[in-house]
Amino acid sequence: MKIGVIGYGHRISSVIKEVMKADVDCQIAAIVDIRKDAVKAQLDEQGWHHIHYYDTPEQMFAAEQLNGVMIGTRCNLHTTMGLKVLQHNLPLYIEKPVATNYEDLLRLKQGYEASTSPVVVSFPLRVTSLVELVKEIVQSGKIGTVEHVQAINNVPYGRVYFQSWYRNEEETGGLFLQKATHDFDYIQAVLGQTPVSVCAMTSKQIFKGNKSAGLKCVDCEDNRICLESTVGTVEGLDPTWQYCCYAEDTGNEDSGSALFRYESGMHMSYSQNFFIRKGAAARGARFMGYKGTVDFDFYTGQVKVHMHHTARVETYDLAAGSNHFGGDAKLARNFTEVMKKKASSISTLDDGLMSALMCMKAQESAQTGTFQSLKWE
């Protein structure tokens, strides 16, 4: 099973390892990357001498017979590279977000509809044991139909969105697309309902720009007293992750919230925060029905079912797992099975398109102070 890779970044490299663990028949046959010489040197050291390297996807497709392609470029290139793969009708593994602007989202939707490519989107949270258990409980009818959802993502490592390349919203599309896209997707996987409108709000109260643009921690006069300083704390940190989070060019809000209304009339609330730390971390949701409530948290690995009309609480302790709480391994295995035509995608491009639409409309709502429709225009 020969796989081509477009954009060999840190994230996709870890997914590739999961793919090769899942199926020993899989191997990386070709890589397209603007840093191809550096990537080749890195992989040669690991004994991967069989890989062919290319400057463009077109060169790779012309020279290679591939069973699938994985895309791990920066976010703003996901759509463009995804469309190149869809034109060849090859199985595709694509990182989230699938697009960073509405124009690209529509282009990708149209390209997907014209292609026969099976697509696996990198949404590992939807296939974690935690979310699958919550979905099982909801579908059993134990808590009744879900009539309200409260979801949170309090990120303890939020500094990365202000001190690294993630601060560039032109590349990332913003923090709804960077973080909430995962959460919106797993909520959709559990609910199975269609959202129709959204209102949202963001704020930037902590990481405000009062330092000069481009400033790095190592050059800042406050680097010995700043609580976010990387100087002397993290050896070997990538140089692109050492910018001042209080500089005027950080971009990104440090908190954001969204309310979604669904076709049934119910609504879901979501809030994310990027300046909490340590034990204040939380990521999960409460799904509420008339009969009961089920809630969970990725960090604790615990699911609880609270029955509303009896004195009963059920608690499930699950191992949270590593690499997106165990979800990466399941998606990797699914991609190998998709390439061999043994299974269908468990995280489709339809799912990726819907999550991206929800994120983009939430961002537009926050920017304009208006409700936004989630209809495709």
164 and 113 within one domain? no
Residues 276, 211 contacting (CB under 8 angstroms): no
Q: Once rounded to an integer, what is the mean pLDDT over residues 305-318?
A: 96
Strand partners, 285: 151, 296
- Taking only the tens place, the pLDDT of each residue in 229-249 is 887 665 555 666 789 999 999
pTM of the model: 0.95
Q: Considering the domain boundaries, does residue 37 fall inside one?
A: yes
Neighbour order of strands in the sheet with 27-32: 52-54, 27-32, 2-6, 68-71, 92-94, 119-121
Residues 160, 166 contacting (CB under 8 angstroms): yes
pLDDT at 213 over 70: yes
Percentage above 70 pLDDT, the chain: 96
Q: Is 194 left (phi over 0), alpha (psi -120 to 50) or beta?
A: beta
143 and 50 within one domain? no
What pLDDT, on the 0 to 100 scale, is given for residue 198?
98
268 and 140 within one domain? yes
Q: Once rounded to an integer, what is the mean pLDDT over residues 255-275?
A: 97
What pLDDT, on the 0 to 100 scale, is given for residue 231?
79
60 and 133 within one domain? no
368 and 311 within one domain? yes
Count of domains forming the chain: 2
Strand partners, 30: 4, 52
3-state secondary structure of 296: strand
Q: Which domain holds residue 261?
A: 126-321+356-373
What pLDDT, on the 0 to 100 scale, is given for residue 324?
63
Q: Considering the domain boundaries, does residue 225 fall inside one?
A: yes
Q: Considering the domain boundaries, does residue 242 fall inside one?
A: yes
Burial class (CB in 10 A: 0-12, 13-18, 19+), 345: buried
310 and 210 within one domain? yes
306 and 369 within one domain? yes
277 and 209 within one domain? yes
3-state secondary structure of 65: coil
What pLDDT, on the 0 to 100 scale, is given for residue 241?
75
300 and 192 within one domain? yes
Residue closest to 303 by CA, chosen among 179, 125, 188, 135: 135
- Taking only the tens place, the pLDDT of each residue in 317-348 is 987 655 567 789 999 999 999 999 999 999 99
- Taking only the tens place, the pLDDT of each residue in 44-97 is 999 999 999 999 999 999 999 999 999 999 999 999 999 999 999 999 999 999
> What string of DSSP letters covers 107-163?
HHHHHHHT----EEE--GGGGSHHHHHHHHHHHHTTT-S--EEEEEEE-TTTTHHHH
**Spatial distance between the Cα atoms of 377 and 356, rounded to a whole number of angstroms:** 14
- Taking only the tens place, the pLDDT of each residue in 128-156 is 999 999 999 999 999 999 999 999 999 99
**Spatial distance between the Cα atoms of 303 and 317, rounded to a whole number of angstroms:** 7
Distances (CA, A) of 318 to 10, 15, 297, 314, 315: 28, 23, 10, 13, 10
What pLDDT, on the 0 to 100 scale, is given for residue 274?
97
* Average predicted confidence (pLDDT) for the chain: 94
**Where residue 30 sits, what CATH number does that domain have?**
3.40.50.720
- Convert 45-75 to b/e letters by CB count within 10 Å (16 or more is b): eeeeeebebbeebeebbeeeebbbbbbbbeb
pLDDT at 289 over 80: yes
Q: Considering the domain boundaries, does residue 251 fall inside one?
A: yes
Q: Considering the domain boundaries, does residue 163 fall inside one?
A: yes
Q: How far apart are the first and last CA of the chain?
A: 39
Q: Considering the domain boundaries, does residue 154 fall inside one?
A: yes
- Taking only the tens place, the pLDDT of each residue in 348-359 is 999 999 999 999
Between 152 and 227, the higher pLDDT residue: 152
- Taking only the tens place, the pLDDT of each residue in 152-211 is 999 999 999 999 989 999 889 999 999 999 999 999 999 999 999 999 999 999 998 889
